[in-house]
């Protein structure tokens, strides 16, 4: 499809949906309320939204959807760290029921026992999975959960009178950047540690960094390299030794479910991403959902309101005085909580362990296939296994051909595959990160590896094909330098029209849409 | 059972595949992959979880059974708002956001995810028209976060700590904002008068150490702020930023805050095409003018239009990616992560369907029914309106004159299937009406409330008509849920 | 209202567009287009229809309200079958058939509708594996039509009129088949013995004027025909065709009719991934061997695999299109029209999900629960089994010994939320169990039925256990619908 | 996508969905029921269905769906006679509720009042729209409804003792072929009339054909040419004059809703296609739904069971003795009945008339655009308006370029457009049939016309481009001659494997699926 921007599809007078009319009795009682508005409050010019019939609106967005590559459609193992797993369709059927969609959070608790029970049960299951005592499901995503981690840590130290003293948070470079960013947003100074020569987190570096000024360590494990820190308990103990708390970013928990637990390593607080590990769909980038699990010492600081069980009934309790309060409206991202509950109930203990083991098996199998490709490598811990993902490098290929990892990614899209390099900074040169999860069959892993092998071959034999990609995408090579220049960037259609067309209204509806058919 | 565990969600639990893959990597068991996990950290027992329901029909029966214990606002007549609103969601919205292509996509590049980039760029652009501003972010988590971030932006831009809170704010929102910004900002509440800002008091507190004036319109009680321009001018005079928290639902008929001088406009998009979801479907927007000083302080992703190698073709990408925590970790602005993109697409589809005329009609219905409900409830002896500001969708009534508490009234009306509103204190009830609550629904509330407070119904006087039955074709909720 | 009628479903009701188009074609009003409709045939008034609900939310409230008056088999414990069955529909099935691409497509060509051709070819192929036959049609309307057409094919092939009906047939199906074929065929009922065919009687009636022997297995009472091979051989000996009507649900464990000698196998696919839909979601299959004599008599479309200009690529198209009424009007075979293609795709997705092991497990569950239910009900004093044939999913009980009629029992059990089955006559009740009716559900039926006929419950003796509560994790229907 | 046939995706041991287990109490009571089957009934070899994990099944069918061009995605006006209109999404939401999907037709009528009321109301609305007295919604599609028409006519004549005498049914060549085919299937001889020189149905020819042997006339009006028979009442009167009945195929009713009614022209019986005129989706070719409307004289012959209103309650009445009996299970295609009801309720009388008028306006507008294309013509009734569709001809273009209408159709698909020629026989040479309905905007009609204009240009200037199409489809030129040869046709995968690979099982799972991304 060559689908225009929606504003170009406007036709004066068309309607997409009609609004229920103001009843005659209401009109009789209150008159013309719009005309009665004070003039300075009454909008003079209607917002310049498009005017379109309903079918054309539908068609527009359906076509855009076909120009998008959802996890359901491809072998989505190239978005490393993202844990792109199967989001079961039965869960979509379950959550899209009026007894969930049409619930208001302030209804009589007697009318919402079902959803309260699901929240409560989900918390208890996550407590078991993490080994922690209490769980909150309020946060709306992984980074938001990291924020809640640090917010609770801050409140804890304040409650202990150490707020002024403890101004530093320590993290590692292969932990998710939001740990650093959230700590900073909470007012902390951030110390970032680099790994040792083998790519393992450096315990000595930690010990050197720890001090009475340390509020917490905030680490991911396994890190985004797929390497598990074997000294993790020593890390936690070292933090505790200086009075700091230990916060565990469990975004990468998919390979260790039922294998090892946060509390067993001594952590005080951890979080999970329900949209990664627990099978809720990623929604183009949210809504996700986070779960914060804490030891009993930190439980008073959890966000509120909490769902409590009282015999057979479930009740809602407002946040207590030491709670960090509300972190999101009401109870968090409820549809994802229900999905995660259904996902866990479909699997059980044996199933969760099979998830972890299969994710790890898939990853190590894929690693073998990738490392067979000339020019690909997996820096650090050479020859050792990884947990659930691997940060690879094309450095050798780059040195041979000049083709960068980004260029390979653009070319991979021509084969219907996602591909991601890594978070910044690129500690691993020419990085790429693959996380196969448990959701893909051996044949699909082979297929993905074959695509990368083919692109590596192209890079050596016909590098122009790679360099000039994309060749088979909806759009062609895009000039991203437009986007960093305040004079040229266009974040909305109105800004675009203003900057490029001096605000003149767009002309006639877009020209004939003689696009190729959906491939 | 001795049969191997094979699960539909995990293809390689098929025994042959598992064996073949282990052989391919030269491992005898998956345990080999966990060598780095110390033995004393290994869990030596199965997780203690409920028995699974591996057959889909058993799972459906269980989870569906739990959910069927809920009684929804299709059955209860609800006047609940306070941050989550019962608006109509057109079917096309759900159709689009439930498409596998959007529902299960994530963070692809502009080439293979062209549709996502375009849909979110369009969302930004549609919101921009409604708000009359040039820059809108890819949604953050919710209106609470958007407002917290908006204020934090003001703090970073001005290097100041004081924030004057000029409006009544939802307590939960105030809690979130407070905890989020307190490392950098101090909030000072300026009590409202008659439901809206005390502009004189705000002016008197303004000084060159004020980072921002924070206004909510409609406020926590649904009051529309009438003196925004005055507040903006006063704030600007001392170099402070005017941050306006709002719900965009009314801007088909109301002048948007930007046209009164707002610098940062933020709020929630739940009203624009999202179901109530037990309060679990919110998205936050932050809108600013096309001014790099503001834009570079935004932590969210911003999708922009770009040219491509093909003349006339639109490409997309991230604007000023270097602002973000993805690019610079703690040196970025706050952080960016998985937030609420799908809800942004929903809001975009919603605004496309509604168009200018739909948003105008909706604004009119909301204003008209709000006013109708205010009059209907105020006509009950002992019931007084909380204030006489202009209200959109929500308003408060003071039950002090009835001798009954708000809690009493809620309890009584629940017995007849009505959620009359949210008690704010012993005597105050926050009532919400939308296009989903018809005139007959409002009349029913008024009659039931009158009965609960022991007053004779007076609502039928309202329209000057004798006949209580209305002629409008829409069925009542009772008919619907009979 | 003087405002123009503009409707979201009709874009060119927008006044400007309408005017522009009239101008373009040189017409002053749409009346000009109707010049060929005589004035005396023109309706001179608006249609007398209910007031429309043009706002989507009003429409939803009205239609949703009507539907919410229904009480479904999620709430009622149902043992109803008789042609429409309550099987589990995996969520992926609904996901696929509700895709706009499939739901709203129609009759495109193999190029732009490649996916439809492939999906229906795959449906044909999956059914073919289940039935062990090489040819399956794109679905016709339902099992009634499939059987009627199957018999008509036999008539056309043999040029004979007599059809021996060897099994018990659902009355409605018999009605349809009779009226459909009576122009060309005469049906002769051969009474069954013990629920299945009286093979000797059939043999004695066979002669060279018999077009077909028609067997149903499972029959209208759920009895599985055990002597199919014998019937096939006898029919073939006189040049007659063996037409078998069946439900494919059991062929994960049962030998399919083709392997007993059936020539034409036909029936309904509702069991394979379609909801009950108040009896409104049926599709018919007709399967034959790869023999042009049979194939050329099939009226339906048949999608076939073909090569393309690209080696190894699969293309698709219509096999032997020249058979059809599209090609030759009344000279084609019966007719072909819009039938049930989407349901065929549903059945294909269903069979793909189930796989060989799923169909085996399902067959086992159905056989086991059917047998369990038979024993549970037969254990009630006064209740007898209708026969002692092998039954799949359905069976009859004779209530004659209880002193109560089938109608009485149905009435009583409805009072406790149970639909116990379909009364076939005063004393006979047709009971259906599926994978959706758990052991506890069956126990509940037995207990309630025992109570209704005044007998003491005996069901708990069945398993030789003392404890009536079961340990299986699936919730009961009561839990589900509480 | 280059998606394999589903059987090629099998991996031994994978499961798509699990079945609920046989409970231990059941097992204890009945033992191993499969083992206990008589050996000749127990299947020895499991059916060779594919073994696939759930996500791969989903992916397979999602990819196939993207290789299909639904009405929601394109400007679907090229499937003339099909009335491809917008099937509103709100109706999908309405019908996909458990209070409809999970209803059994033999439940207590007290439990199904809502659906019975909808059936009853829909019947009454269609009675008003047709002017008829009684309506049945049992039939499952348009052709099935035509069958019911002739079945009722047959029963009527039988009831009057004229079954032996009346052996002929008269139809016209521009009526849908199912009229002829169904009459034949009911045992009648079929007489087909051709139009007069102007393309109008020929009244004189009818009068010549009518006789006491005539059972009925079965005609479409407007015919598939879009031409309305102005003498329709005379046709009906002439049929009645010889004692025949008049049956009206209203598949083409979309342009005359609220304009003129079947009964007003004297017809005894008519049918509508709910999936054409009344907005239910076409489902790749069904389920559709038919409505049969009859005069009171024919009402006793309607199929059963009937839904009756008894005060405030709705009851089910079994078919009476003169009824043709059951024509389908239970009450017909219930989801489509509910959709049609919702569609009519969304529009009302004014809306239905707007549907008709706009469909006709769109058609005449499109005709103007098409006739501007050199080489295109609209044979018959030259210069006159059409109702809701037009049968055009490329005969001039064919004579000039040798490019056939079929070839143009294949090329149109390259532009993402459906295109249909006409039913056989091709009375109009090089035919194509366009029916724009009310659902498309002026811009979309222009877009479609522009595509045909472009292809006509190609036919003249670069005919090879047209002749060698498709160029931008999922598949390439397909060898349809395979499909008419019994030795080579392959109607199922098992037949294909047997004929082409001598029954050897397919090899390994398909090779790497390195397809291009969705366009």
CATH number where D250 lies: 3.40.640.10
Please indicate whether, in this complex, the C-beta atoms of B65 and C482 are within 8 angstroms of each other: yes
Do A333 and A190 reside in the same domain of the chain? yes
The proportion of chain D whose per-residue pLDDT surpasses 90, expressed as a percent, equals 94
Closest to D406 (Cα-Cα) out of D375, D434, D430, D370: D430
Q: How far is CA C379 from CA A69, C371, C384, C420, in A?
A: 58, 12, 8, 16
Comparing alpha-carbon positions, the chain D residue that sits nearest to B68 is D98
Do A278 and A403 reside in the same domain of the chain? no
Residues 64-103 of chain A with CB under 8 A from chain D are 66-69, 72-74, 86, 88-89
Confidence of residue D503 (pLDDT cuts 50, 70, 90): low
Smallest CA–CA separation between C191 and chain D, in Å?
22
Chains contacting C (3 or more CB pairs within 8 Å)? A, B, D
Please indicate whether, in this complex, the C-beta atoms of A516 and D414 are within 8 angstroms of each other: yes
Smallest CA–CA separation between A21 and chain C, in Å?
8
Q: Give the per-residue pLDDT at D505.
A: 52
Q: Give the per-residue pLDDT at A274.
A: 96
Collapse the DSSP code of B45 into the 3-class scheme (helix H, G, I; strand E, B; otherwise coil) and give the result.
Answer: coil
Closest to B230 (Cα-Cα) out of B200, B190, B192: B200
Smallest CA–CA separation between D336 and chain C, in Å?
9
Residue D458 lies in a domain: no
ipTM of the complex: 0.95
Comparing alpha-carbon positions, the chain C residue that sits nearest to D174 is C329
In tens digits, what is the pLDDT along chain A, a chain of 519 residues?
A: 889 999 999 999 999 999 999 999 999 999 999 999 999 999 999 999 999 999 999 999 999 999 999 999 999 999 989 999 999 999 999 999 999 999 999 999 999 999 999 999 999 999 999 999 999 999 999 999 999 999 999 999 999 999 999 999 999 999 999 999 999 999 999 999 999 999 999 999 999 999 999 999 999 999 999 999 999 999 999 999 999 999 999 999 999 999 999 999 999 999 999 999 999 999 999 999 999 999 999 999 999 999 999 999 999 999 999 999 999 999 999 999 999 999 999 999 999 999 999 999 999 999 999 999 999 999 999 999 999 999 999 999 999 999 999 999 999 999 999 999 999 999 999 999 999 999 999 999 999 999 999 999 999 999 999 999 999 888 999 999 999 999 999 999 999 999 999 865 544 333 333 333 333
Do A396 and A430 reside in the same domain of the chain? yes
Comparing alpha-carbon positions, the chain D residue that sits nearest to C7 is D351
Q: Give the per-residue pLDDT at C107.
A: 87
| Six-digit token string for C422 | 């379909």
Please indicate whether, in this complex, the C-beta atoms of D18 and B7 are within 8 angstroms of each other: yes
Smallest CA–CA separation between C463 and chain B, in Å?
20
Confidence of residue B326 (pLDDT cuts 50, 70, 90): confident
Q: Give the per-residue pLDDT at B171.
A: 97
Do D258 and D189 reside in the same domain of the chain? yes
Q: Give the per-residue pLDDT at D502.
A: 81
- B292 near A CB under 8 A: yes
Closest to B86 (Cα-Cα) out of B479, B405, B369: B369
Q: Give the per-residue pLDDT at B479.
A: 41
Please indicate whether, in this complex, the C-beta atoms of B282 and A473 are within 8 angstroms of each other: no
Please indicate whether, in this complex, the C-beta atoms of A480 and B317 are within 8 angstroms of each other: yes
Do D194 and D333 reside in the same domain of the chain? yes
Name every chain B residue with its beta carbon within 8 A of the beta carbon of D19. Answer: 55, 57
Q: Which residue has the tokens 């989550």?
A: B84
Name every chain C residue with its beta carbon within 8 A of the beta carbon of D410. Answer: 109, 111
d(CA B257, CA C471): 62
Confidence of residue B478 (pLDDT cuts 50, 70, 90): very low
Smallest CA–CA separation between D192 and chain A, in Å?
39
Smallest CA–CA separation between C102 and chain D, in Å?
6
Closest to C215 (Cα-Cα) out of C186, C189, C185, C245: C245
- A21 near C CB under 8 A: yes
Residues 193-222 of chain B with CB under 8 A from chain A are none
Question: CATH no. for residue A364?
Answer: 3.90.1150.10
Confidence of residue B233 (pLDDT cuts 50, 70, 90): very high
Contact B411, B72 (CB under 8 A): no
- The DSSP annotation for D426-459 comes to -SSSSEEEE---SS--HHHHHHHHHHHHHHHHHH
Do A181 and A286 reside in the same domain of the chain? yes
Please indicate whether, in this complex, the C-beta atoms of D16 and C74 are within 8 angstroms of each other: no
Q: Give the per-residue pLDDT at A503.
A: 60
Residue D369 lies in a domain: no
- D358 near A CB under 8 A: no
Q: Is the confidence at residue D387, as pLDDT, over 90? A: yes
Intervals of chain C under pLDDT 50: 1, 458-482
Residue A369 lies in a domain: yes
Please indicate whether, in this complex, the C-beta atoms of A512 and D451 are within 8 angstroms of each other: yes
H helix intervals, C379-461: 406-415, 439-452
- How much helix, strand and coil, in percent to the nearest 5, is found in chain C? 40, 15, 45
Residue A168 lies in a domain: yes
Residue D449 lies in a domain: no
Residue D353 lies in a domain: no
| Cβ-proximal residues to B187 (8 Å cutoff; 6+ apart), any chain | B163, B165, B174, B177, B178, B181, B214
Q: Give the per-residue pLDDT at B470.
A: 38
Q: Give the per-residue pLDDT at B455.
A: 78
Degrees to nearest 5, angle at CA A286 with A280 and A287:
70
Contact D231, D184 (CB under 8 A): no
Confidence of residue D474 (pLDDT cuts 50, 70, 90): confident
Chains contacting A (3 or more CB pairs within 8 Å)? B, C, D
Pairing type for strands A290-294 and A269-273 reads antiparallel
The proportion of chain D whose per-residue pLDDT surpasses 70, expressed as a percent, equals 97
Q: Who among A51, A63, A72 is closest to B356 (CB)? A: A51
Residue C191: CB atoms within 10 A of its CB come to: 10
Q: Give the per-residue pLDDT at C145.
A: 98
Segment B291-306, tens digit of pLDDT? 999 999 999 999 999 9
List the domains of chain B with CATH numbers: 1-45 (no CATH), 91-349 (3.40.640.10), 356-481 (3.90.1150.10)
Range of the domain at A373: 354-467
Residues 34-63 of chain A with CB under 8 A from chain B are 34, 37-38, 40-44, 46-52, 54, 57-58, 60-63
Do A249 and A313 reside in the same domain of the chain? yes
Last residue of a domain, one of D301, D316, D346: D346
Pairing type for strands B422-423 and B428-432 reads antiparallel
Residues 304-343 of chain C with CB under 8 A from chain A are none
Do A154 and A124 reside in the same domain of the chain? yes
Residues of C with CB under 8 A from a CB of B: 8, 50-51, 53, 56-58, 60-62, 64-65, 68-69, 74, 88, 90-91, 95, 100, 353, 435-436, 473-475, 477, 479-482
Residue D134 lies in a domain: yes
Please indicate whether, in this complex, the C-beta atoms of D14 and B11 are within 8 angstroms of each other: yes
Site from A44, A73, A102 to mutate, B interface, most B CB atoms within 10 angstroms: A102
Smallest CA–CA separation between B277 and chain C, in Å?
18
The total of structural domains in chain D comes to 2
- Phi, psi for residue C42 in degrees, rounded to 5: -75, 130
- A345 near D CB under 8 A: no
Do A335 and A399 reside in the same domain of the chain? no
Q: Give the per-residue pLDDT at B456.
A: 61
Segment A217-264, tens digit of pLDDT? 999 999 999 999 999 999 999 999 999 999 999 999 999 999 999 999
Last residue of a domain, one of D329, D346, D363: D346
Q: Who among A103, A140, A351 is closest to B278 (CB)? A: A103
Average pLDDT estimate for D299-310: 97
Contact D432, D394 (CB under 8 A): yes
Q: Who among B43, B142, B326 is closest to A258 (CB)? A: B43
Do D47 and D117 reside in the same domain of the chain? no
Contact D429, D405 (CB under 8 A): no
Q: What is the dihedral of CA A200, A206, A207, A209, to 10 degrees?
A: 150
Closest to D67 (Cα-Cα) out of C316, A443, C302: C316
Contact B359, B252 (CB under 8 A): yes
Beta bridge partners of A214: A168
Confidence of residue B327 (pLDDT cuts 50, 70, 90): confident
Q: Give the per-residue pLDDT at A188.
A: 97
Contact C480, B65 (CB under 8 A): yes
- A234 near B CB under 8 A: no
Do A258 and A293 reside in the same domain of the chain? yes
Do D188 and D251 reside in the same domain of the chain? yes
Q: Who among B11, B56, B58 is closest to D56 (CB)? A: B11
Smallest CA–CA separation between D362 and chain A, in Å?
15
Segment D254-263, tens digit of pLDDT? 999 999 999 9
Beta bridge partners of A247: A218, A269
Residue D481 lies in a domain: no
- D248 near C CB under 8 A: no
Please indicate whether, in this complex, the C-beta atoms of A441 and D416 are within 8 angstroms of each other: no
Name every chain D residue with its beta carbon within 8 A of the beta carbon of C139. Answer: 286
Last residue of a domain, one of D346, D368, D389: D346
């Amino acid at each position: 499809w060559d689908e225009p921007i929606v504003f170009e599809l406007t036709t004066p007078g068309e309607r997409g949906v009609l609004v229920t009319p103001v009843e005659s009795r209401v009109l009789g009682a209150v008159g013309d309320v719009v005309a009665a508005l004070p003039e300075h409050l009454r909008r003079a010019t209607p917002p310049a939204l498009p005017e379109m019939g309903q079918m054309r609106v539908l068609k527009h967005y359906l076509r855009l959807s076909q120009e998008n590559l959802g996890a359901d459609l491809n072998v989505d193992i190239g978005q490393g760290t993202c844990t792109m797993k199967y989001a079961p369709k039965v869960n979509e059927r379950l959550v899209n029921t009026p007894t969930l969609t049409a619930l208001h959070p302030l209804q009589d608790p007697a009318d919402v026992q079902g959803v309260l029970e699901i929240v409560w049960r989900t918390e208890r299951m996550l407590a078991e999975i993490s080994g922690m005592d209490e769980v909150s499901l309020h946060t709306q995503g992984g980074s938001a959960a990291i924020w809640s981690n640090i917010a609770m840590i801050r409140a804890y130290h304040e409650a202990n009178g150490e707020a002024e003293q403890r101004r530093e948070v320590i993290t590692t470079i292969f932990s998710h950047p939001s740990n650093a960013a959230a700590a900073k947003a909470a007012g902390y100074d951030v110390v970032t540690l680099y790994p040792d020569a083998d790519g393992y987190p450096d315990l000595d570096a930690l010990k050197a960094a720890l001090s009475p000024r340390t509020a917490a360590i905030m680490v991911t494990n396994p890190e985004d390299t797929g390497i598990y820190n074997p000294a993790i308990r020593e890390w936690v103990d070292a933090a505790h030794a200086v009075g700091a708390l230990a916060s565990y970013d469990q975004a990468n928990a998919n390979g260790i479910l039922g294998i090892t637990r946060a509390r067993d390593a001594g952590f005080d607080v951890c979080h999970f991403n329900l949209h990664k590990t627990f099978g809720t769909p990623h929604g183009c980038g949210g809504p996700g959902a986070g779960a914060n699990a804490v030891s009993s010492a930190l439980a008073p600081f959890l966000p509120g309101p909490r769902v409590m069980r009282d015999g057979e009934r479930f009740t809602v309790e407002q946040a207590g005085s030491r709670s960090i309060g509300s972190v999101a409206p009401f109870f968090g991202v409820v549809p994802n909580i229900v999905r995660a509950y259904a996902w866990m109930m479909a699997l059980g203990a044996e199933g969760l362990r099979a998830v972890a083991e299969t994710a790890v098996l898939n990853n190590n199998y894929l690693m073998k296939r990738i490392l067979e490709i000339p020019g690909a490598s997996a820096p650090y811990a050479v020859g050792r296994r990884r947990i659930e993902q691997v940060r690879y490098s094309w450095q050798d290929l780059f040195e041979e051909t000049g083709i960068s990892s980004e260029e390979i990614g653009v070319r991979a899209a021509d084969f219907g595959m996602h591909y991601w390099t890594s978070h910044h900074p690129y500690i691993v040169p020419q990085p790429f990160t693959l996380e196969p999860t448990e959701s893909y069959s051996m044949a699909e892993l082979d297929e993905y590896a074959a695509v990368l092998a083919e692109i590596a071959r192209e890079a050596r034999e016909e590098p122009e094909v790679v360099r000039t990609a994309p060749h088979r995408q909806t759009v062609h090579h895009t000039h991203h330098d437009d986007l960093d220049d305040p004079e040229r960037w266009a974040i909305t259609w109105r800004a675009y029209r203003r900057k490029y067309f001096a605000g003149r209204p767009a002309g006639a509806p877009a020209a004939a849409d003689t696009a190729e058919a959906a491939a | 059972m001795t049969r191997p565990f094979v699960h539909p969600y995990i293809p390689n639990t098929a025994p042959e595949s598992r064996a073949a893959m282990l052989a391919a990597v030269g491992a005898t068991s998956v345990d080999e992959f966990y060598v780095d996990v110390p033995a004393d950290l290994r869990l030596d027992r199965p997780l203690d979880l409920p028995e699974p329901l591996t057959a889909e029909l058993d799972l459906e029966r269980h989870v569906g059974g739990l959910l069927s214990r809920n009684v929804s606002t299709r059955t209860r007549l609800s006047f609940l708002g306070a941050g989550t609103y019962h608006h109509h969601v057109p079917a096309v919205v759900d159709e689009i956001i439930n498409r596998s292509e959007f529902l299960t996509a994530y963070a692809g590049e502009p080439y293979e995810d062209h549709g996502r980039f375009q849909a979110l760029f369009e969302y930004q652009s549609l919101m921009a028209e409604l708000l009359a501003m040039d820059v809108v972010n890819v949604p953050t988590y919710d209106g609470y976060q958007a407002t917290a971030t908006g204020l934090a932006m003001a703090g970073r831009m001005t290097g100041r700590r004081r924030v004057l809170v000029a409006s009544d704010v939802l307590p939960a929102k105030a809690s979130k904002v407070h905890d989020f910004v307190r490392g950098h900002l101090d909030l000072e509440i300026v009590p409202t008068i008659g439901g809206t800002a005390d502009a004189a008091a705000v002016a008197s507190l303004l000084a060159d150490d004020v980072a921002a004036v924070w206004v909510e319109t409609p406020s926590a009680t649904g009051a529309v702020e009438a003196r925004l321009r005055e507040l903006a001018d006063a704030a600007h005079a001392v170099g402070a930023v005017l941050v306006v928290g709002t719900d965009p639902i009314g801007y088909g008929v109301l002048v948007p805050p930007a046209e009164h001088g707002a610098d940062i406009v933020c709020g929630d998009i739940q009203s624009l095409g999202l179901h109530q979801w037990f309060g679990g479907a919110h998205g936050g927007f932050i809108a600013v003018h096309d001014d790099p000083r503001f834009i570079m302080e935004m932590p969210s992703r911003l999708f922009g239009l770009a040219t491509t190698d093909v003349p006339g073709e639109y490409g997309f990408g991230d604007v000023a990616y270097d602002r973000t925590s993805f690019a610079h970790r703690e040196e970025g602005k706050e952080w960016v992560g998985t937030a609420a993109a799908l809800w942004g697409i929903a809001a975009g589809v919603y605004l496309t369907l509604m168009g200018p005329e739909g948003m105008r009609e909706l604004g009119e219905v909301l204003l008209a029914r709000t006013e109708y409900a205010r009059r209907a409830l105020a006509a009950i002896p002992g019931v007084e309106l909380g204030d006489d500001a202009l209200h959109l969708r929500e308003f408060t009534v003071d039950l002090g004159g009835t001798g009954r508490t708000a809690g009493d009234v809620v309890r009584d009306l629940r017995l007849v299937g009505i959620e009359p509103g949210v008690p704010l204190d012993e005597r105050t009830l926050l009532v919400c009406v939308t296009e989903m609550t018809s005139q007959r629904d409002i009349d029913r509330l008024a009659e039931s409330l009158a009965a609960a407070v022991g007053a004779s119904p007076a609502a039928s006087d309202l329209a000057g008509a004798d006949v209580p039955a209305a002629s409008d074709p829409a069925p009542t909720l009772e008919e619907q849920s009979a």
